[in-house]
Chain A
Amino acid sequence: MKPVLLIEFLRSCGAGELTKTEAQRYPWELLIRQSRRANLISRVALFLQEAGILDDIPAQPRQHFLNALRIAKANARATNWEVRDLYRILRGQNIDFILLKGSAYIWSENSASKGRLFSDVDIMVRESSLEDAERVLVHSGWMGSTLNGYDQRYYRQWMHEIPPLQHLKRQTTLDLHHSIIPPVSYPDFPAEKLWQQAIPAEDMPGLFMLSHIDMILHSAVHLFHEGEFDQGLRDLSDLDLMIREYILDGDLWEGLLLRAAELGLELPLYYALNYTQRVLATPVPEQILQKAARQRGRRHLPDGLLDLLFLAAFVPDHETCRVRGGKVARFLLFIRSHWIKMPWHLLFPHLVRKGWLRLRGENSH
């Protein structure tokens, strides 16, 4: 595969070689364009700032990075505000909740929070509090979206979250989960085990983050099972950063493998380790990767085919670097995510219906 500037840049960040960048001669415009497309421009800007080379960059490209830093700061400020507001609402009913994904990274200020941009806030409550949580949120201005009856049933029957809620005034979207993996694909996923190891937030009883290892596993499940590869490289970068922060430093590789086995998430963990290592040069020890490969169990598709699809999908969909078949790869991965999620007798009618709606140009979820 041809080297992609943005990917090379992220690899050199990981290797700590950013300071060697020749700031006067680097192709900044290309990096800005690719990273903007991959929703990574704020992260790139933050890495440049941390490496102390932002000031050496010529004024015009530097301005784009400074603006991207402002966007990330505003994103973090708004997210934390929403979290405090959700806490106020849910705490009033004694409903515990765990922050997930972007909002958790931002709140805990971990490495994946660096320049992380996202639009939805994701939280998880215990399945037993789901109804109460939805009711009190709706009363507080978080309205159910205008999905039709079919989509409503689809979410409530098969998924690990209810249909997205949207705040009446702020238009923020909230995903309310009761698990991290759809019950239809993994019927008895032990979500209570996530609660057992969740980390309480400081001074806010009832608010939790997933444990560091579970955070990595959730990120892996999300990326490799949910099939949204539009921002695949950003999500892979999250994994790279968190593996370096949480696992590499403490040499917790065995713990990561054990926990994945305990939760039945060996397959997404293997993909996470394999592809962060191959795409972003995350320093995963060889024997760990082999062990992860051995324990991953049932595969859905041959490795060679998945390599083709994943490696194409991680390249940003930008005209300066996109690979042939990238769009097809993303589409097939989307189909794959549904295939591993649902049995055929459910999936087939679902896809036919969605395909038909898409042909007619209607919005679909």
Chain B
Amino acid sequence: MLISDLDCNTLKTHLSGQGLRFRTGPFSVSLRATIPAIARHIAKLYPHSETLDNDAFIDFHITTHQVAGLRRWLKPQVVFSFDGYKPFKPLPLAQAAAAFEWGLNWCIASSSHQYLIIHSAVVEKDGQAVILPGSPGSGKSTLCAALIHRGWRLFSDEMALLSAADGMIHSVPRPVSLKNQSIEIIKAFTQEPVWGERIEGTTKGDIEHMCAPDSSVRQPPTAIHAKYLVFPHYQSGCLTEITPLSKGRASMNLIENAFNFNILGHQGFEMVSDLVDSLECYDFTYPDLKQALDGIEQITSAKP
């Protein structure tokens, strides 16, 4: 059964009761939340996720509840908790959906060390996967959102999961998070996607989440050997530039974008070396979305 098969009331009953149990990528989640915005977020942005039985093993037991007490009336807040542990300070209630997304990112990044986790989008077409690591402002998510409406499949918007066991990138197709001007750019670019609610005034600015396409969530393969590593750099008014990167430089840049390199230690280093050895690596500077898409096509099609 999928989340979209649940009617609104059943979804709310699960969320406010024993928890809504569902799969996202390789992870199983139980989410409890009484906040209506969270129920709407899940219904809209996780419709293709498979729901899980009561006896299924759950990786992450999550709650996002409204903070009780006087604040409930004066300054309503939401707090994210993972098995009773609260990694973040409470956020304004209006940011509840963002709190859930960031919280789930935190759960994955802080405990799933069977993967080297790289802050990166990953897209795939015709069996060719591109890793797009992104420091803030690089345009990673914007580029990713556009690519998946030009025939690419979303593997991941926020984190590339490089498996220590098989050296493959595992897919975790969650909603794409767009910020500030990127939201309008993508809305002008495509009318297709379903959007969540606009969340204003977060620490990252205004945010809207875009639903991951059904094909990304439910079709195989769920793991793939990557072929390209492209570091995007958005720079208004510049010329498009595609510069091959040395293996050493590419490795260092990749490590800078890894969340848990310190945990994996020596093994993490070996994994990065093996990965980079098998990739074509580029620095990619672009002035706008059209040039960005052309550049990615150029990188991935010019080869034998």
Contact partner of B59 (CB less than 8 A), chosen from A64, A68, A318, is A64
Q: Is B180 an interface residue (CB 8 A)?
A: no
Inter-subunit contact A77/B84 (CB<8 Å): no
Inter-subunit contact A37/B113 (CB<8 Å): no
Interface string of B77-107 (1 = CB under 8 A from A): 0000001110000000000000000000000
Q: Is B111 an interface residue (CB 8 A)?
A: yes
Inter-subunit contact A61/B84 (CB<8 Å): no
Inter-subunit contact A71/B84 (CB<8 Å): no
Q: Is A29 an interface residue (CB 8 A)?
A: yes
Interface string of A317-344 (1 = CB under 8 A from B): 1110000000000000000000000000
Q: Which of B28, B59, B262, B263 has the most CB of A within 10 A?
A: B263
Contact partner of A36 (CB less than 8 A), chosen from B58, B85, B112, B114, is B85
Interface string of A9-36 (1 = CB under 8 A from B): 0000000000000000000110001001
Interface string of A44-64 (1 = CB under 8 A from B): 000000000000001011011
Inter-subunit contact A37/B83 (CB<8 Å): yes
What is the interface size of chain A, counting residues whose CB is below 8 A from a CB of the partner? 22
Contact partner of B61 (CB less than 8 A), chosen from A33, A66, A67, is A33
Chain A residues whose C-beta falls within 8 Å of the C-beta of B112 in the assembled complex: 67
State in angstroms the CA–CA spacing of A33 and B112 once bound together: 15
Expressed in whole angstroms, the minimum distance between the Cβ of A8 and any Cβ of chain B is 19
Inter-subunit contact B114/A63 (CB<8 Å): yes
State in angstroms the CA–CA spacing of A36 and B84 once bound together: 9
Expressed in whole angstroms, the minimum distance between the Cβ of B26 and any Cβ of chain A is 10
State in angstroms the CA–CA spacing of A319 and B113 once bound together: 25
Chain B residues whose C-beta falls within 8 Å of the C-beta of A73 in the assembled complex: 265
Interface string of A234-273 (1 = CB under 8 A from B): 0000000000000000000000000000000000000000
Name the residue on B nearest A69 (C-beta): B113
Chain B residues whose C-beta falls within 8 Å of the C-beta of A61 in the assembled complex: 57
Q: Is A74 an interface residue (CB 8 A)?
A: yes
With A67-B111, A67-B112 known as contacts, the answer to whether A29 contacts B58 (CB < 8 A) is: yes
Chain B residues whose C-beta falls within 8 Å of the C-beta of A64 in the assembled complex: 59, 111
Expressed in whole angstroms, the minimum distance between the Cβ of A188 and any Cβ of chain B is 41
Chain A residues whose C-beta falls within 8 Å of the C-beta of B264 in the assembled complex: 70, 74
Inter-subunit contact B263/A29 (CB<8 Å): no
Chain B residues whose C-beta falls within 8 Å of the C-beta of A74 in the assembled complex: 262-265
21 A-B Cβ contacts within 8 A? A28-B57, A33-B61, A36-B83, A36-B85, A37-B83, A37-B84, A58-B57, A60-B57, A60-B59, A61-B57, A64-B59, A66-B113, A67-B112, A70-B264, A71-B113, A71-B263, A74-B262, A74-B263, A317-B84, A318-B83, A319-B84
User: B-contacting residues of A (Cβ < 8 Å)?
Assistant: 28-29, 33, 36-37, 58, 60-61, 63-64, 66-68, 70-71, 73-74, 77-78, 317-319
Given pairs A67-B111, A68-B111, A71-B111, 6 additional interface contacts (CB within 8 A): A29-B57, A29-B58, A36-B83, A37-B83, A63-B114, A70-B113
